[in-house]
């Protein structure tokens, strides 16, 4: 099992339940823990049989830039579905931080995970 960790990927997206949030782009920080059977990639040293984390990052940034969600939970689930559709992942853990969400708190975050058996 190989685990790819991407921490605090910066994305810009339209997110929020309030009217004023729907009118502005906001910065989110996305962290991922992606698990897959990377044995062949490790043995062959071949990017073609590995998960290209640069492509993963770019896909997430592009997806977020073109989406509008009210809830972080919805965005997290959408990203999980996107990644599972494109990569042979066995487990996905995602954490999305919205640093400016609460005036009196340092940070706000949600996390979600899914395990796949196929």
| Annotated active-site residue in 27, 81, 91, 98 | 98
Check: CB of residue 25 under 8 Å from CB of residue 12: yes
Q: Which of 80, 58, 72, 73 is nearest to 28 (CA)?
A: 72
Active site residue 27: no
8: left (phi over 0), alpha (psi -120 to 50) or beta: left
Instruction: List active site positions.
Output: 98
């Amino acid at each position: 099992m190989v685990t790819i960790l991407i921490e605090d990927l910066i994305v810009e997206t339209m997110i929020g339940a309030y009217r004023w949030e729907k009118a502005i782009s906001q910065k989110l920080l996305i962290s991922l823990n992606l698990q897959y059977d990377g044995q062949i990639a490790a043995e062959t040293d071949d990017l073609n049989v590995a998960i290209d984390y640069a492509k993963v990052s770019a896909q997430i940034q592009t997806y977020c830039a073109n989406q509008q969600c009210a809830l972080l939970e919805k965005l997290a689930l959408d990203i999980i579905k996107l990644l599972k559709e494109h990569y042979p992942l066995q487990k996905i853990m995602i954490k999305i931080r919205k640093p400016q969400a609460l005036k009196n708190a340092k940070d706000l975050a949600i996390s979600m995970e899914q395990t796949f058996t196929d």
